[in-house]
């Protein structure tokens, strides 16, 4: 026993304990071989768990905080036993070995103190864990051997003290080593087998009972430690998942908006660090999502994320999904030509066909480019200006990239001012007017209907074209209010017409599919007293491309009221016979671009002929728009059109009351100054052309 103790003590107290402590100090060749053998066996029996670097760091951090408590418990208990045996056992057992334990413990605590704030890599932590486990085995064997070496020298009380010392030391060490599972299990096996084997075979009944009672306790403590270790691992994993969800997009796995903003701000904070920002929006994604389903839409976003990552795989590039179908890329430079070339490569990659087993899918990408520091030195400015450039790319026809310019921002600011002025005009309704253009029967020449067309006279800018303010209304959520104004005004004035002509009102695509149109129409009809069969609602084919089922539902509810439904701008590129099958329209309006060239171009005449023939077969009235000459009228008559509309029969004009008010406003402007007079006359002329 003393030989074994001496060998263990020689391992626990080397001439330079640094090797065990991990500071690289050499030990004897025999000691290194023994330590290597122990380490290899422990690595096979109790492998250091997890390749998760974060988990290893968390485990090591918690374990490190328990190191002082571990060695304090060991020293306090060991010196307590040594003092109890001071007058009965040799000095080498009561002094030398406790001093050795104290040296090892103090060295370990001192090293812990010096490195308590150090940051370890995963590999360093694994090495530290293995060294700690080896030291645990060595000290565990030493403590057990020393305790059993003291045991024969004591009386009954002192022997009970040894058993008590071993039991509480083993349990305390197991609890302190909970987050280092191999070390904890090593203490369990070494301490448990030593305690049970030695005291169960001691022949002393009380010690035998103590040994058998201690065995389930140590097993239960080990199980509790393993459960705590497992729960800690689960807690860290859950926290990592929450952190991952907070910083990464669940669908594509790319950094999300929060991570993107943090990284953008970090890079911009570095002085003299030029960067580029590409703001990407997918063209046509919403249509795919609506027609193919959200499942295909999600697959499409995942594939787009992969393509972006493949194209933007250079060092220091960051690809992020900001939300929906919007992505962003941070470039590690501020070079205009390189940024534009990279954006073009992204457009090409994203625009290539996608095949998910349900036929090819094609989308596009529009990109806004902003560079730091020339376009902004804060994340907010850079994002805003790349968004402005993206808007310009969309306006330019989509599928391209635009670099931010100051003129883009000026246009955006003007658009914002226009939106503010138009919002005020909608509230006051003093500068908004409804003009009416006749629709004439080609056979009798009688006015069968009049189309209501909204006009806006800005207090300072004069007449503003609907092509300018209607898109603003749709973009900023004002289309419903504008539509309600036109519908109420048109129905009220049509109710007083002596010729009982129908009134045709255009419905914006943004008004459809929300279930609110029925309420607007019913309210306008009730308030005006207009018969529902005198109201025609005109929708464009483009409106049917989104949420067709909901839109058709809206149209059916209108039809149930007795309102007529017309399909406007038929033949302009979105025509589909499926639309005519989906809903029984009362009227088809042939776009004026075909009417204009019907006389000179046989292909345009053929389109007119085909649509009118289709109308006859379906029992639907066909109306030709944009008729300006007698030649066009004769051509349309020959092709079988039922009704016509255009400047040949009348321009859009306000009702009598509004006409007088407009005349007074113009006269007042002309008298304000010569400059105002010139501006007013120009506005009147431009309005006439627009109308």
CB neighbours of residue 303 within 10 Å: 17
Chunked in runs of 10, what are the mean pLDDT values of the chain (691 residues)? Answer: 34 34 44 57 49 77 84 90 89 90 89 81 82 87 90 88 89 87 88 86 85 88 86 80 80 91 90 89 88 87 94 90 93 91 93 85 93 89 92 87 90 87 90 94 92 92 89 87 93 93 91 86 93 92 69 87 88 60 84 83 84 86 91 88 92 89 75 46 38 33
The pairing of beta strand 432-441 with beta strand 643-645: antiparallel
Cβ 214 vs Cβ 107: under 8 Å = no
Residue 25 CB contacts under 8 Å (≥ 6 apart), including other chains: 16, 17, 18, 19
Q: What is the pLDDT of residue 278?
A: 95
d(CA 93, CA 273): 67
d(CA 183, CA 178): 8
CA 691, distance to chain mean position in Å, is 45
Backbone angles phi, psi at 450, to 5 degrees: -135, 135
**Strand-pair partners of 248:** 255
Q: What is the pLDDT of residue 33?
A: 62
Give me the count of residues in the chain: 691
3-state secondary structure of 514: coil
Cβ 457 vs Cβ 431: under 8 Å = yes
What is the fold, at CATH topology level, of the domain defined by 414-654? TIM Barrel (3.20.20)
Residue 322 CB contacts under 8 Å (≥ 6 apart), including other chains: 256, 257, 260, 328
d(CA 469, CA 478): 10
Q: What is the pLDDT of residue 28?
A: 54
pLDDT tens digits for 162-200?
889 899 898 988 888 888 888 888 888 988 888 888 888
Among 180, 183, 179, 151, CA closest to 170: 183
pLDDT tens digits for 3-56?
333 333 333 333 333 333 333 334 456 655 655 555 555 444 444 445 677 778
Sign of CA dihedral 537, 541, 546, 550: positive
CATH tag, 257-404: 3.30.70.270
Q: What is the pLDDT of residue 537?
A: 94
Burial (Cβ within 10 Å: 0-12, 13-18, ≥19) of residue 350: buried
Residue 529 CB contacts under 8 Å (≥ 6 apart), including other chains: 495
Q: What is the pLDDT of residue 22?
A: 37
CB neighbours of residue 66 within 10 Å: 16
Q: What is the pLDDT of residue 36?
A: 58
Among all chains, which residue has been given the structure tokens 């040994």? 211
Sign of CA dihedral 275, 281, 282, 283: negative
d(CA 245, CA 473): 37
d(CA 395, CA 389): 10
Q: What is the pLDDT of residue 1?
A: 32
Among 27, 150, 133, CA closest to 88: 150
Q: What is the pLDDT of residue 301?
A: 93
d(CA 150, CA 142): 12
CB neighbours of residue 596 within 10 Å: 18
CA 585, distance to chain mean position in Å, is 41
Helices and strands (DSSP H and E) totals, the chain: 26, 17
Q: What is the pLDDT of residue 529?
A: 93
Entry pTM: 0.56
Please provide the DSSP assignment of 586-632 as one string.
Answer: SEEEE-HHHHHTTTT-HHHHHHHHHHHHHHHHHT-EEEE----SHHH
Query: Cα Rg for the chain, rounded, in angstroms?
Result: 43
Can you give the residue ranges of every domain in the chain? 2-243, 257-404, 414-654, 656-691
d(CA 455, CA 489): 12
d(CA 246, CA 379): 20
């Amino acid at each position: 026993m003393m030989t074994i103790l001496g060998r263990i003590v020689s391992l626990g107290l080397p001439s330079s304990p640094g090797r065990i402590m991990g500071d690289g100090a050499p030990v004897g060749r025999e000691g290194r071989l023994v330590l290597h053998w122990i380490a290899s066996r422990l690595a096979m029996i109790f492998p250091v768990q997890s390749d998760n670097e974060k988990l290893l760091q968390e485990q090591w951090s918690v374990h490190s905080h328990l190191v002082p408590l571990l060695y304090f418990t060991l020293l306090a208990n060991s010196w307590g036993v040594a003092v109890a045996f001071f007058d009965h056992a040799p000095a080498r057992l009561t002094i030398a070995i406790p001093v050795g334990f104290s040296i090892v413990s103090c060295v370990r605590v001192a090293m812990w103190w010096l490195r308590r704030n150090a940051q370890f890599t995963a590999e360093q932590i694994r090495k530290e864990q293995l060294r700690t486990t080896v030291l645990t085995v060595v000290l565990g064997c030493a403590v057990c051997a020393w305790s059993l070496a003291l045991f024969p020298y004591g009386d009954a009380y002192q022997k009970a003290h040894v058993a008590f010392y071993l039991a509480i030391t083993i349990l305390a060490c197991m609890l302190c080593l909970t987050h280092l599972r191999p070390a904890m299990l090593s203490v369990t096996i070494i301490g448990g087998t030593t305690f049970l084997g030695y005291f169960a075979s001691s022949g002393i009944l009380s010690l035998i009972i103590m040994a058998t009672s201690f065995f389930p306790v140590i097993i239960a403590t080990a199980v509790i430690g393993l459960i705590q270790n497992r729960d800690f691992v689960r807690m860290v994993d859950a926290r990592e998942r929450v952190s991952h969800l907070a910083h990464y997009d669940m669908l594509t796995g790319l950094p999300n908006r929060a991570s993107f903003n943090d990284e953008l701000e970090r890079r911009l904070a570095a002085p003299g660090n030029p960067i580029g920002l590409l703001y990407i929006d997918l063209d046509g994604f919403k249509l795919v999502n609506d027609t193919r389903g959200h499942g295909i839409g999600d697959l499409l976003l995942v594939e787009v994320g992969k393509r972006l990552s493949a194209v933007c795989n250079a060092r220091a590039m960051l690809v992020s999904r900001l939300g929906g179908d919007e992505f962003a890329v941070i470039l590690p430079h501020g070079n205009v030509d390189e940024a534009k070339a990279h954006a073009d490569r992204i457009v090409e990659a994203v625009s290539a066909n996608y095949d998910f087993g349900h036929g090819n899918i094609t989308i596009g990408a529009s990109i806004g480019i902003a560079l730091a520091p020339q376009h902004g030195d804060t994340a907010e400015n850079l994002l805003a200006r790349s968004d402005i450039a993206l808007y310009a790319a969309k306006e330019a026809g989509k599928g391209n990239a635009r670099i931010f310019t100051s003129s883009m921002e000026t246009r955006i600011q003007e658009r914002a001012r226009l939106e503010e002025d138009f919002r005020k005009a909608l509230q006051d309704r003093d500068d908004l007017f409804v003009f009416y253009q006749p629709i004439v029967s080609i056979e009798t020449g009688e006015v069968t209907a009049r189309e209501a067309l909204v006009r806006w006279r800005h207090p300072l800018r004069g007449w503003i074209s609907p092509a300018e303010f209607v898109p603003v209304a749709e973009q900023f959520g004002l289309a419903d209010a504008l539509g309600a104004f036109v519908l109420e005004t048109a129905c009220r004035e049509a109710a007083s017409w002596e010729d009982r002509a129908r009134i045709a009102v255009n419905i914006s695509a943004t008004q459809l599919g929300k279930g609110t149109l029925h309420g607007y129409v019913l309210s306008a009809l009730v308030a005006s007293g207009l018969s529902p069969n005198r109201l025609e609602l005109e929708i464009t084919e483009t409106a049917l491309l989104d949420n067709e089922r909901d839109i058709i539902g809206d149209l059916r509810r209108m039809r149930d009221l007795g309102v007529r439904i017309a399909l406007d701008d038929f033949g302009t590129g979105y025509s589909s016979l499926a639309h005519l099958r989906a809903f029984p329209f009362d009227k088809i309006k042939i776009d004026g671009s075909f009417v204009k060239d019907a006389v000179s171009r046989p292909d345009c005449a053929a389109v007119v002929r085909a649509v009118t023939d289709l109308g006859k077969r379906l029992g639907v009235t066909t109306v030709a728009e944009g008729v300006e000459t007698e030649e066009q009228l004769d051509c349309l008559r020959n092709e079988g059109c039922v009704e016509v509309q255009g400047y040949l029969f009348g321009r859009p004009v306000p009702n009598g009351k509004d006409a007088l008010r407009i005349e007074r406003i113009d006269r007042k402007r002309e008298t304000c100054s010569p400059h105002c007079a010139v501006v007013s006359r120009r506005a009147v002329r431009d309005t006439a052309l627009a109308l």
